Amino acid sequence: MDAFFLSIELFLVICFLILYYYHLQSKKTSSLEPTEWPVVGHLPGLVANIHNLYDWATSILSDVDYNFEVRGGRTGLRYFVTCDPSNVRHIFTSNFANYPKGDTFAEIFDILGDGIFNADGESWRRQRVTSQMLLNGPQFRAFAARCCRDKVENSLLPFLAHTANEGRPCDLNNVFLRLALDLTCTLVSGVDPGCLAIGSPVVPSFARAMDDALETLFLRHITPAACWKLMKRLEVGQEKKMAAARRTIDSFVAATIEKRRAHKLKECISNSADLLSSFICNEDTSHNDDVFLRDTMVNLLVAGRDGTGLALSWFFYLISKNQRVEQKLLDELAPIASKKVADGAAGPSSGMVTFDASELSSLVYMHAALCECLRLYPPIPFEHKAVVDDDLLPSGQEVKAGDKILVLNYSMGRMEGVWGKDCMEFRPERWVTEEGKLRYEPSYKFISFNTGPRTCLGKEMAFMQMKTVAAPVLWNFAMDVVPGHVVEPKLSITLHMKNGLAVSVRRRDAYHGKLALD
């Protein structure tokens, strides 16, 4: 008899759980939404899909009109997630003052200190004015263009030629990140760390530390604050890696600043073009103390390395899968390259062609292809904002003071209602008008370089670097992704490749021979 009643009770419990589950499902507006459970909210769905988080979030946002509130129940985790262009315009431009980065952002991104990416209000305005003057100055722009071309000609192309001669695959993602780190360190501090030297297979400890830090910053967004802060205090789990990464980064930056200061004592560097020298020589003492210089260097190094390095990685991944686009890019480069070859401007020993930034600035299809890559794979996949006062968004949702907002740049580029039915295709032609000119797209729709008052100051320099690297690599080499190699985004605050980009590299001699005969 006891067994009979126990069976009845078990049956009733199972029935209750089934009915309760269907009750929870009935509260959802879309079948793709994660189930909101008692106490833990959406966290189980978040954890279950963390391996494919960006695409999972994109599918949800596409099914719920671009807006969704992530709730972590009693854990305190809560975000309003959007990829609605009208909301982006409102948040980043129309009502800019109501949506700062906020204290929560500064806590999560504590490794950036009080640098420009963390700063709000007057501190941000002062730093932006100073940075804008330096980055847009003719001396620095010329310095950046010269450094980029020299680095490509003297390091990148020889490295790829060596790889092609050896006939073994290489991780192109790693190569571009090394290149970007060399370039960024040169522009920021005047020192080239030489990460692309042939025969240097070990990833620099500073670069590994940056990757560990960026991964931890991402995990902080989906971990309850009380939990990751306790882990940080105890230095356990992912926060242990973060603590070690910060020590490595701070050591590297402190040594670089010390060397630059010593150089200043030996000879005047006021005419040096690198940014660190400009800050050290600044008469405003608030711009040359060690804390300010440390925070500024870390902000610039992270942005410079990941922005350019990751964009180039995804660009060549897309090119490797789209021979039609690759051929059109080669055809666009052909007149410039053939003239350089005829004039004897190819490398005297290698025979490889490089390009000046000025020669590439008018290439429409090259610029369109880079924009199309950034639409699908923005180096910064999401933006984080806080809410100061209650507000009503253009999409109709109300946000309250203290709320946190995530704008998913990655998802916006994949919304059919924003970019059309072919939004998942790599089609540079969408950026070209019928007259053959570049098509303008508003920055609140194409948000790879942010939008509004915080639009990226390095946008033009980034395009210059990407073109100066992409053009000679495309012209001189063909890249084929190794069969079976899986390319997918990594869980990081920037859109790293989880498994890198394994490619086989070969010279394009046959194509160039045909061009010479033509």
CATH number at residue 412: 1.10.630.10
Residue 320 lies in a domain: yes
Residue 122 lies in a domain: yes
Burial 365-394 (b: 16+ CB within 10 A, else e): bbbbbbbbbbbbbbbbbbbbbbbeeebebe
Residue 16 lies in a domain: no
Going from the first residue of the chain to its last (518 residues), give the mean pLDDT of each consecutive group of 10, the final group possibly shorter: 64 62 59 78 85 92 92 83 97 96 92 91 90 87 93 94 91 94 90 80 76 91 90 93 94 88 62 79 67 90 90 97 96 91 63 89 96 97 94 95 95 96 97 95 95 93 96 95 94 92 86 44
Residue 175: per-residue pLDDT: 94
Instruction: Look at the pTM and tell me if it is higher than 0.85.
Output: yes
Residue 490 lies in a domain: yes
For residue 284, give its domain range.
Answer: 30-517
Residue 191: per-residue pLDDT: 83
DSSP string, 409-425: HHHHTT-HHHH-TTTTS
What does the alpha-carbon distance between residue 307 and residue 449 come to, in Å, rounded to a whole number? Answer: 10
What does the alpha-carbon distance between residue 411 and residue 62 come to, in Å, rounded to a whole number? Answer: 8
Residue 130: per-residue pLDDT: 87
Give yes or no for a contact between 439 and 432, defined as CB atoms under 8 angstroms apart. yes
Residue 250: per-residue pLDDT: 93
Residue 262: per-residue pLDDT: 77
Residue 17: per-residue pLDDT: 57
CA-to-CA separations, 307 to 181, 299, 457, 461, 463, in angstroms, rounded: 10, 12, 12, 11, 10
What is the tally of structural domains in the chain? 1
Q: In this structure, what token pair is assigned to residue 132?
A: 């804008």
Residue 164 lies in a domain: yes
Residue 109: per-residue pLDDT: 93
Residue 340: per-residue pLDDT: 80
Q: In degrees rounded to 5, what are phi and psi of residue 271?
A: -95, 0
Residue 24 lies in a domain: no
Residue 5 lies in a domain: no
Residue 202: per-residue pLDDT: 57
Phi-psi region of 377 (alpha: psi -120 to 50; beta: other; left: phi over 0): beta
Residue 278 lies in a domain: yes
